[in-house]
């Protein structure tokens, strides 16, 4: 039997105006763990989840790769995705005040 793998990748996202995070978060990197059986297109599936949280995926930061547990960024998140089918971890950063900032929305 082959080892269990998940799609693991990172999206960049920004909060939408309806998001409770809109006034405090400039954006986030969203680490996505998706079981292959959840979707034919894991990026599209993850972007739909992110949108349902009132965030907008704006870029694929790290392309999807099939990853075994030992190679996952976080084994606990990997295990949770095996149980639930998917896990999304938002690593937010604050809104920057400078005019040159790319994190203003």
Q: What φ, ψ does residue 61 adopt, rounded to 5°?
A: -80, -45
Reading the chain (105 residues) residue by residue, the pLDDT tens digits are 356 999 999 999 999 999 999 999 999 999 999 999 988 999 999 999 999 999 999 999 999 999 999 999 999 999 999 999 999 999 999 998 544 455 555
Domain boundary assignment for the chain: 5-93
Q: Where are the alpha helices (DSSP H) in 39-102?
A: 42-52, 75-84
pTM score: 0.88
Q: Quote the CA–CA distance of 18 and 1 in Å, as a whole number.
A: 46
């Amino acid at each position: 039997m082959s080892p269990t793998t998940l799609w693991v990748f990172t999206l960049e996202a920004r909060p939408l105006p309806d998001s409770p995070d809109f006034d405090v978060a400039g954006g986030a990197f969203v680490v996505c763990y998706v079981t292959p059986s959840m979707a034919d297109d894991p990026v599209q599936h993850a972007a739909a989840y992110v949108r349902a949280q009132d965030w907008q995926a704006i870029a694929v930061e790290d392309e999807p790769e099939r990853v075994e547990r030992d190679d996952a960024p976080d084994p606990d998140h990997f295990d949770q995705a095996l149980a639930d089918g998917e896990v999304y971890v938002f690593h937010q950063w604050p809104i920057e005040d400078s005019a040159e900032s790319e994190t203003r929305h």
